[in-house]
Homo-oligomer: A and B are copies of this chain.
């Protein structure tokens, strides 16, 4: 089979938003798909050399069998609005943000009825995936259409991901604790630096390692986790109230 034919039989995957996470997707999926990416910022030449780079999101979406929207929460609704009219019938539209209720609602409301919509949250980032994605977790929420089972099977079999099928609401409840607390604790501890690094216990080393994994996350990630997740405020209140109660007990 010559290259031309191989190319024709491969599906096209378009990535809207080619930041750190978009590039991670490209790295792991270029073996399976024709890739085409768009980012509002210029894509560096060494990265662009490996992928098809498009001048606009509409161009990407109109060519793609699968579209991954990896843009920040703040621009998400604008991106979905702009691409809605050019989605291919039967295409799979996927998001990858840290919260799921709001983006799911936006996609359901704005995208046409003849596309598949799958809201996802890869529970990892460039830092935790630096040695590969095998064994890492991804939450997926089927929103519209029937292709989510095949999509999940691909993630499991080809990428070795642990796929957690859930709903946007269930996801956001758990993520408010898992990500909300990790980032809160990280923010507080990082503001206490320098922390000891030699005279440490194993439990403190584990805490420090956990914190170091999120310390370079973009500010938008923290914003999304703490503000766009409808359950984050409640979790945060419980955390701060329990901390204040413990403080009062110890002051006695």
Query: In the complex the two chains form, is B136's CB within 8 Å of A187's CB?
Result: no
Query: In the complex the two chains form, is A206's CB within 8 Å of B207's CB?
Result: yes
Query: In the complex the two chains form, is B203's CB within 8 Å of A211's CB?
Result: yes
Q: How far is the CB of A142 from chain B (nearest CB, A)?
A: 16
> Cβ of A199: which chain B residues have Cβ within 8 Å of it?
123, 137, 139, 164, 166, 171, 174-175, 178
Count of chain A residues with Cβ under 8 Å from any Cβ of B?
A: 55
Give 1 or 0 for each of A163-189: 1 = CB within 8 Å of chain B CB. Answer: 010100001001101110110111111
Query: In the complex the two chains form, is B192's CB within 8 Å of A179's CB?
Result: no
Q: Is A124 an interface position by the 8 A CB rule?
A: yes
Query: In the complex the two chains form, is B184's CB within 8 Å of A246's CB?
Result: yes
Q: Is A134 an interface position by the 8 A CB rule?
A: no
Q: Is A239 an interface position by the 8 A CB rule?
A: yes
Residue of chain B at shortest CB distance from A212: B203
A137-B200, A178-B199 known; A243+B188 contact, CB < 8 A: yes
Query: In the complex the two chains form, is A182's CB within 8 Å of B164's CB?
Result: no
- Please give the count of copies of this chain that the complex contains: 2
Q: How far is the CB of A23 from chain B (nearest CB, A)?
A: 19
Consensus secondary structure, chain A interface:
helix
Q: Is A236 an interface position by the 8 A CB rule?
A: yes
Q: How far is the CA of A244 from the CA of B174 in the complex (A)?
A: 23
A242-B192, A250-B226 known; A201+B139 contact, CB < 8 A: no
Query: In the complex the two chains form, is A196's CB within 8 Å of B178's CB?
Result: yes
Q: Is A2 an interface position by the 8 A CB rule?
A: no
A210-B210, A236-B247, A243-B243 known; A177+B202 contact, CB < 8 A: no
Q: How far is the CA of A188 from the CA of B123 in the complex (A)?
A: 24
A192-B239, A240-B244 known; A210+B204 contact, CB < 8 A: yes
Q: Is A238 an interface position by the 8 A CB rule?
A: yes
> Cβ of A235: which chain B residues have Cβ within 8 Å of it?
192
Query: In the complex the two chains form, is A203's CB within 8 Å of B182's CB?
Result: yes
Q: Is A195 an interface position by the 8 A CB rule?
A: yes
Query: In the complex the two chains form, is A247's CB within 8 Å of B238's CB?
Result: no
Query: In the complex the two chains form, is A192's CB within 8 Å of B206's CB?
Result: no
Residue A187 contacts which of B166, B177, B246 (CB distance < 8 angstroms)?
B246
Residue of chain B at shortest CB distance from A232: B250
> Cβ of A211: which chain B residues have Cβ within 8 Å of it?
203, 207
Q: Is A214 an interface position by the 8 A CB rule?
A: yes
> Cβ of A205: which chain B residues have Cβ within 8 Å of it?
210
